A and B are shown apart, each in its own frame.
Chain A
């Protein structure tokens, strides 16, 4: 046994690294530390062979995975550095991020903007990347720049792409029936009523997994109370037990009769098929819906419009979650890692990604948008024209709040139209105090 070639043993240990880390395998992680040290950190490189960094990626689906790899290849091709990539399932990265960041994370990690980033930055688990932003700052709009800041005002995040949420619909259905895009909530409800008369489910809706309904909540809240209130509510700087929140659910209640009744048993993909199969008139979902539509003809037939205005700020705010990269604390002085981040924040880097995964929109201003589909162009224009960009509830709020409180609360609301804001506030108080 022991006389075997030692290489496979070392490799297998590296492969298991993330797993061990996930379960807090301190000893094993320690054992792997020297191996990691060989590929990251260390003093400033003088010899080009020492220019090395690593990337931990939670983008494990085939398309995004190959897209990230294309980005890395573009960087290594340009700089001559070596990059070790560790791809793990998305849930593994997201669910174990605390223990991951505290053990031996890769230098650069795929992550999300929002509270989800600011929280770990404030806990000192991420390294600031202001020097990277000194190079790439001109590439990003004000909204993106702000979304990359931690609570201390330093930058901790480099955006890669984002994708808007909106009402998606099939142009052919709307043309055939003569539907018009509604600008106001009243027009929107009238449209729903018309669709119902025409035998359609007005709004496809799916919430078996609990999170998709948060998109509806975010939009109604931003349209009813404004972007800042929404953000403060997510961060629990505002109370849940107040009239403003009740107003949100009252507005939503007016839409409940038009949303698919079977929502609680359906996944977002099933919801998408209700709409693309022409059984439903429209569907409030993210641009990732394009990933689920394999029929080119239907894809060309898809269009979207922003959530209509309700009370304040018109349609100024858009929900467009940003995915990007953060730098682990221990890699804070790794020049190669920062070079890679700077490259990822450039049009060239993001174009390498977009060439493989066209359902998302590059965020850098100098990215090549010539290959954009009609839908992508519209999405990009909507984001560019938005005054405020929200990140989706589970990124803007404490994860436990989204996961443990909002999912059951929203599912209960969808079921019978009742909501107990007092109970939500009581839970929020306890959960945010625990942080």
Chain B
């Protein structure tokens, strides 16, 4: 709102005979001292919090990623050029598997978990008996913390006492599948556990979206002779565009920030490496190597910037 008068003033200033300084002072006068104080606080405080908690640490991380430091004395910080990055990419064996696992994670969520959520939403949006109950059941996992999810699935996947091996009849035998210990299957086991939760989340968002669709749209499509599938894919789904964007963003964020469940299973080793886990392993605790950890964090940041920038550009373009 405040932009408009300013633009008119600017163009007025360009006109002959009117000078810029009085225009500026007139604009300032419109805000009382109290207004300025309130505005300053409302802009300043969040900016300060952002700067202290997000921007300054980010910049420090970027800076530290080009150094070697043991984390003890500031005087011990030594420049290291790109060596932390070459270490991460060329010498650190878990790096490429972690990247691959993140991509698998993202693709799995996008192609399997999210569509399952959509399917559940469409099914439960029909007037079937007990739909509320089903909704609650599918949504329950979302209300559990990821740690709880991990513990629950531990019970399902355990090698000797686990539910799954009992159902397969392999529990206690040498044929029992070690769902979390066998690096050929543990990533998929973790993804199934994640899907269990993610699908419920997507379902709820789509249910809200479906409820918001004007029924006349469906009627019009039906009148035009569209069948059920055509109505859904050509009319309903495009009409839920805002929800779709939210879902895409959520899915990408979930794919990038995946951490808790693998960390709970085996601290993200042995087939469950993820970039976020490597950052933590190298930055926190016994294995602290600040330079390498920072370099890994910067790599994750750069990868994350892609979707973030895309999302922000879209959001602001729409605001115009």
Please indicate the chain A residues that have their CB under 8 angstroms from the CB of B13 in the complex: none
Bound CA–CA A431/B287 (angstroms): 10
A209 touches which of B180, B182, B267, B291 (Cβ 8 Å): B267
- Contact present for B270 and A415 (CB under 8 Å): yes
- Name which residue of chain B comes closest to A428, CB basis: B91
Map CB proximity to B onto A397-425 as digits: 1 under 8 Å, 0 otherwise: 00110111001110110010000100100
- Contact present for B72 and A262 (CB under 8 Å): no
Please indicate the chain A residues that have their CB under 8 angstroms from the CB of B285 in the complex: 91, 94-96, 403
Map CB proximity to B onto A258-288 as digits: 1 under 8 Å, 0 otherwise: 0000111110000000000000000000000
Bound CA–CA A435/B92 (angstroms): 18
A434: Cβ under 8 A from any B Cβ: yes
With both chains docked as a complex, state the minimum distance between the C-beta of A38 and any C-beta of chain B, in angstroms. 28
A210: Cβ under 8 A from any B Cβ: yes
- Name which residue of chain B comes closest to A407, CB basis: B269
A423 touches which of B71, B93, B286, B287 (Cβ 8 Å): B93
Query: Contacts A102-B72, A403-B281, A434-B289: A265 and B269 contacting too (C-beta < 8 A)?
Result: no
A79: Cβ under 8 A from any B Cβ: no
Tell me which residues from 44 to 95 in chain A have a Cβ below 8 Å from any Cβ of chain B.
91, 94-95
- Contact present for B87 and A265 (CB under 8 Å): no
A426: Cβ under 8 A from any B Cβ: yes
Tell me which residues from 162 to 213 in chain B have a Cβ below 8 Å from any Cβ of chain A.
178-183
B282: Cβ under 8 A from any A Cβ: yes
Name the residue in A266, A404, A415, A433 with the highest tally of chain B Cβ atoms < 10 Å from its Cβ.
A404
B66: Cβ under 8 A from any A Cβ: no
Bound CA–CA A263/B159 (angstroms): 11
With both chains docked as a complex, state the minimum distance between the C-beta of A257 and any C-beta of chain B, in angstroms. 14
Chain A contact residues, majority secondary structure: helix
Map CB proximity to A onto B115-126 as digits: 1 under 8 Å, 0 otherwise: 000000000000
Bound CA–CA A98/B183 (angstroms): 34
Bound CA–CA A434/B159 (angstroms): 40
A208: Cβ under 8 A from any B Cβ: yes
- Name which residue of chain A comes closest to B289, CB basis: A400
B287 touches which of A98, A263, A403, A411 (Cβ 8 Å): A403
Bound CA–CA A230/B202 (angstroms): 54
Chain B contact residues, majority secondary structure: loop
Please indicate the chain B residues that have their CB under 8 angstroms from the CB of A434 in the complex: 68-70, 80, 289, 291-292
B244: Cβ under 8 A from any A Cβ: no
- Contact present for B286 and A209 (CB under 8 Å): no
- Contact present for A125 and B269 (CB under 8 Å): no
B58: Cβ under 8 A from any A Cβ: no
Query: Contacts A209-B266, A210-B269, A404-B281: A265 and B182 contacting too (C-beta < 8 A)?
Result: yes
A430: Cβ under 8 A from any B Cβ: yes
Bound CA–CA A262/B183 (angstroms): 11
- Contact present for B70 and A262 (CB under 8 Å): no
Bound CA–CA A433/B73 (angstroms): 16
With both chains docked as a complex, state the minimum distance between the C-beta of A403 and any C-beta of chain B, in angstroms. 3
Bound CA–CA A125/B87 (angstroms): 29
- Contact present for A400 and B269 (CB under 8 Å): no
With both chains docked as a complex, state the minimum distance between the C-beta of B271 and any C-beta of chain A, in angstroms. 8
- Contact present for B270 and A402 (CB under 8 Å): no
Please indicate the chain A residues that have their CB under 8 angstroms from the CB of B178 in the complex: 262, 264-265
- Contact present for A208 and B286 (CB under 8 Å): no
- Name which residue of chain A comes closest to B281, CB basis: A404
With both chains docked as a complex, state the minimum distance between the C-beta of A360 and any C-beta of chain B, in angstroms. 22
Please indicate the chain A residues that have their CB under 8 angstroms from the CB of B159 in the complex: 262, 265-266
Bound CA–CA A399/B282 (angstroms): 11
- Contact present for A264 and B287 (CB under 8 Å): no
Bound CA–CA A263/B266 (angstroms): 12
- Name which residue of chain B comes closest to A414, CB basis: B270
Query: Contacts A95-B285, A411-B269: A264 and B182 contacting too (C-beta < 8 A)?
Result: yes
A4: Cβ under 8 A from any B Cβ: no
B288: Cβ under 8 A from any A Cβ: yes
A98 touches which of B71, B282, B289 (Cβ 8 Å): B71
Query: Contacts A394-B286, A427-B92: A408 and B291 contacting too (C-beta < 8 A)?
Result: no
Query: Contacts A262-B181, A427-B91, A435-B70: A402 and B267 contacting too (C-beta < 8 A)?
Result: no
B12: Cβ under 8 A from any A Cβ: no
- Name which residue of chain A comes closest to B282, CB basis: A404
With both chains docked as a complex, state the minimum distance between the C-beta of B297 and any C-beta of chain A, in angstroms. 15
With both chains docked as a complex, state the minimum distance between the C-beta of A413 and any C-beta of chain B, in angstroms. 11
Name the residue in B94, B269, B281, B286 with the highest tally of chain A Cβ atoms < 10 Å from its Cβ.
B286
With both chains docked as a complex, state the minimum distance between the C-beta of B291 and any C-beta of chain A, in angstroms. 6
- Contact present for A399 and B91 (CB under 8 Å): no
- Contact present for A430 and B93 (CB under 8 Å): no
- Contact present for A408 and B68 (CB under 8 Å): no
Tell me which residues from 252 to 294 in chain B have a Cβ below 8 Å from any Cβ of chain A.
266-267, 269-270, 273, 281-282, 284-289, 291-292
A123: Cβ under 8 A from any B Cβ: yes
Bound CA–CA A266/B266 (angstroms): 10
Bound CA–CA A263/B181 (angstroms): 8
- Contact present for B68 and A433 (CB under 8 Å): yes
With both chains docked as a complex, state the minimum distance between the C-beta of A280 and any C-beta of chain B, in angstroms. 13
Please indicate the chain B residues that have their CB under 8 angstroms from the CB of A399 in the complex: 286-288
B270 touches which of A94, A99, A264, A435 (Cβ 8 Å): A264
- Name which residue of chain B comes closest to A120, CB basis: B72
Bound CA–CA A99/B87 (angstroms): 26
Other than the given A102-B72, A266-B181, 10 more pairs (CB < 8 A) read A94-B286, A95-B285, A209-B266, A264-B181, A264-B183, A265-B182, A394-B286, A415-B270, A426-B91, A427-B92
User: Which A residues are closer than 8 A to B by beta carbons?
Assistant: 91, 94-96, 98-99, 102, 123, 125, 208-210, 262-266, 394, 399-400, 402-404, 407-409, 411-412, 415, 420, 423, 426-427, 430-431, 433-435
Question: What are 15 A-B contacts defined by CB distance under 8 Å?
Answer: A98-B288, A208-B180, A208-B181, A210-B267, A265-B182, A399-B287, A399-B288, A403-B287, A404-B92, A404-B287, A412-B93, A427-B92, A434-B68, A434-B69, A435-B70
